[in-house]
Amino acid sequence: MRGPHNIWRLIRTGATMERTGAMGVVLEAMEAPRALRIVARTLVWPVQWLGDKGDPNLPPATRALTALGPAYIKFGQILSTRPDVVGPELAQQLRVLQDKLPPFDVDTAKKVIAEELGAPVDQLYSEFSEPVAAASIAQVHRARVDATGQEVAVKVLRPGIERAFRKDIDAFYFAAGFIEAFSPASRRLRPRDVVEHFEGVVMGELDLRLESAAASEFAANTKNDTGFFVPTTHWDLSGRRVMTMDWAEGAPLGDNDAIDAAGHDRRVLGERVLQLFLSHALRDGYFHADMHQGNLKVGANGDVQAFDFGIMGRIDEYTRRVYAEILFGFIRRDYRRVAEVHFEAGYVPADRDIDEFARALRAVGEPIFGMDASRISMGKLLSYLFEVTEQFGMETRTELILLQRTMVVVEGVARSLDEHINIWEVAHPVVEAYVRENVGPRAFARDLAKTARVLARFGPKLPQMAEQVLVRQSADPVEPPRASRLSAVIWFALGAGLTALASVLAQTL
């Protein structure tokens, strides 16, 4: 599939951007260099007639992305939360991509539900509405469960969406290969790995059974979070192409007028969204990875309500600790420690100069402090970070791609609520609490206890394992038998000691 035929897809992408007028709008909004604008427009102008016209009732950028397909729409959804990158006007236009796309007809939705759940819609729901929201992958209907009368939201996949996504992702793979072949400097960013990661995330979103499971796990993790709410999933009314959850009434988090009319404090909401995301990522290692305004509401009681759990992120405990230390180091302006963490984690090659790296990090972090957050250009900041990472040989880490992307999205949501929000000040208490609890002597003691518990399960086998080591090493002519016996005894004593220590630590921690 990933052959030269994808050249046609890429040509049509550029042609559609030019024909709809999006090319100039996007390049101008992102402050692209004048030379780049001239080259791009010159290349695509002669073939613009090959592009799709799109819906003339939509603004240029939205018109182009909707015409290009679901993968491009997803990209536009991310940009809609970053007015500091694409400008407030373009960001406002792109918000249409979140939940206001043209729906498919209700009869088609009912057919999908009947095929998936094995019964007509009239037997499953006492009420079933026209679509109330439509996004790139699915649309939502408001309904009422026949048995209990509970009001619910029914999510239904778009027909043929799997095939459409595979076609777009196929073109992305071809583009990534093309970039790696003709731009050696880009190889450290591993474009193919980035596309592969994106493919895994998106294809998981196309099975609503996985989303139901994700919603259930996320609700269990966050049930005690003040000011946060996850609707309950109805498993008996959910399947691969259909998902049913409790309906939650509230004002869309992207509608500031509605939020103000309901009497909510947008500054508090902005801080809450950012702090909740950090808590979920650091505390649980499991976070909502698609937290744009279309997937968030605020209830009458002020709770932030989350929806659409098709894209979730997971990071292991070690990575969470590294990430927290890096954030905390920036917050405390301890750039030497941030540099040390990068080297300890292997993010930067060991042969690089740590002091020079710390100085480069200071140049990145210092502009953040002592100024109004609204004056910070994240575009320029990210541009400088790219130069720094290239200079010190850092590679893109695919396990952090989703975390980094979501952090960008969440920051954009928070700033849409309060343009003066300072992400470092808001993040400080959450990150500090995590570091205090999970980095240091107390965390080391807990890690040791976990290790001892694992060894304790092998307690009955320790004598046999020690004997096997003795026999194996005694047969090795390189190592004298006495040394073999000594090493085995030490190994056995260590295991026994840790086993005994496990019970003590388990009682004290």
Q: Enumerate the active-site residues.
A: 290
Residue for token pair 């491009």: 72
**8 Å CB contact between 192 and 398:** no
- Rounded distance between C-alpha atoms, residue 408 and residue 54, angstroms: 29
Residue at token pair 């003795």: 470
Residue 236: count of CB within 10 angstroms of its CB:
11
Paired strand residues for 304: 228, 298
* Cβ-Cβ contacts under 8 Å for 114 (sequence gap 6 or more): 120, 121
CA distances for 275 relative to 219, 264, 278, 317, 385, angstroms: 17, 17, 5, 19, 24
Residue 185 CA to chain centroid, in angstroms?
26
CA dist., res. 466 & res. 142, Å (int): 64
CB 393 within 8 A of CB 188: yes
- The residue among 86, 438, 428 whose CA lies nearest residue 274 is 428
Structural tokens at position 458: 């092998």
Which H helix or E strand runs over 133?
Answer: strand 125-134
Tell me the CA distances in angstroms from 305 to 186, 352, 402, 430, one per residue in order.
39, 45, 21, 20
- Amino acid identity of 271? E
Residue found by looking up tokens 């809450």 in the block: 272
Residues 446/509, Cβ–Cβ less than 8 Å = yes
Residue 289: count other Cβ atoms within 10 Å of its Cβ. Answer: 22
CA dist list (Å): 381 to 62, 111, 375, 406, 416: 26, 49, 12, 17, 19
